[in-house]
Amino acid sequence: MSLGELLTTAKQAVVERIPEPIRPFLPFTPAAVALGGLLTGLAWNSVMLHRIDDPRTRWRLFVVLCLLGVLLTLERRVVDKRLGWVWMESRPGIVGFATLVCLSSLFNAFIVFYFRSASSLKMYVFGGLLLFVIAFARVLKQHAGGEVVRMVTFLLCSMSLFLFSIPLVTGSMGGGVFVMAAVLSLALNAVVWLVSRIQIRPWLTWLRERGERPAVLHETGIGNVIAHGTAWGGAVIALAVMSFVGAIPPLPLVIIQSGVFHDIERTEEGYVGLYEPGPWYAPFRSDDHPFALDDGDRVEFFTALFAPSGMALEVVHRWDMWEPDNGWVTQDTLSFDVTGGRDRGFRGSTRKRAVQPGAWRVVVLTKSGREIGRRRFTIVDGHGGEATERRLFE
């Protein structure tokens, strides 16, 4: 009995032991396994992935991305029966499963990094897109345009990796990063697509026998080229729009700590935030939220920001107040400079005196206007209290 027959017999034996009411749900088993693997991977990466600028993390992700490209090439050749390995061509599911594992590994890491950086609802759209792609990768793969879907997924993988890797290498951020990431991703996708279709064995035969010269690519018509080009272009345009509206978090910048205080003091130990002690029902309060405003008080907002080594940028605090008739209205825009490389983040604060009770928020932005994070708080009429509690930011 061959290995294939043995596996088929074992599968039938297992199915026969499953209770009849459960058998209709067996087709959903792959999706359930994929979802379970996704959740397990997310939990594992949330614990194991710490610093986004760790070179080992970047290299691991890059190696997995290259392996995914190789698997996509093999998958195309297996489908076309052009690989030459009969045992693999008769079991295309092996390559498909390995492809799904690589996709899960990459997207799990991307989801962890991007959700850590997301601070507003529109930023969660990009993380939700990544979550959707990996959770339903198998469903997307089995329907029309499967090859196009897989290549667009590969483009999304490479763009996600390059978007936060390029600033770690160049030490700068801006629109040029997106353009560079798009060019590199499109070039990488084009290489994988070409390699998956290049005629190798027919050309080796032609070199030996000098017969009729074969085509360079295997059954590649203008329609296939247009389909892939349109899909890639549409994916890049969609990502560009998401980046323009601020839906893609500005990795590798991440806010580590933030808070609103009566005062910020710089000491030898680090920055110290002074705030009023909270009531008995808020024992874990660690800043002035809500802020009790008395005459002469100033409101100071502190930010500890992670920035990779060698990166220097100007950080902006945009102070907004909620007005019932107009929504969030900007009251002031204040900035400070940071230089990256410190494990516990780079610290800075801005302060305002001309404030009034109400709902406030401070939006933390780069100089170019990309949102890094935000924090909402409330200012209420004071009660004559003193800021005696201290919070140390080392």
Neighbours of 321 (CB within 10 A): 18
Determine the Cα–Cα distance for residues 163 and 181; give it in Å rounded to an integer: 6
DSSP letters, 126-182, are HHHHHHHHHHTHHHHHTSTTHHHHHHHHHHHHHHHHHHHHHHHHHS--SHHHHHHHH
| 355 HSE (CA, 13 A, CB side) | 32
Higher pLDDT, 206 or 351: 351
Determine the Cα–Cα distance for residues 336 and 296; give it in Å rounded to an integer: 24
Higher pLDDT, 254 or 37: 254
- pLDDT at position 144, please? 40
pLDDT digits (tens, 9 = 90+) for 146-185: 677 778 888 888 888 888 888 877 777 777 888 899 999 9
Q: Is the pLDDT reported for residue 258 higher than 90?
A: no
The domains of the chain are located at: 3-244, 254-393
Which H or E run contains 339?
A: strand 327-339
pTM of the model: 0.68
Percent of the chain with pLDDT over 90: 8
Confidence of residue 142 (pLDDT cuts 50, 70, 90): very low
CATH top-level class of 254-393: mainly beta
pLDDT digits (tens, 9 = 90+) for 329-366: 999 998 877 766 666 667 888 888 888 899 999 998 88
Determine the Cα–Cα distance for residues 122 and 198; give it in Å rounded to an integer: 41
Give the chain's mean pLDDT.
Answer: 75
DSSP E strands in 249-310: the ranges are 254-261, 263-266, 271-275, 291-293, 299-306
Cis peptide before 290 (omega within 30 of 0): yes
**Could you tell me the two tokens for 63?**
């190696």
- 291-293 vs 299-306, strand pairing mode: unpaired
- 254-261 vs 299-306, strand pairing mode: antiparallel
Nearest-5° Cα angle at 268, 262 to 269: 75
pLDDT digits (tens, 9 = 90+) for 180-199: 999 999 999 888 888 877 76
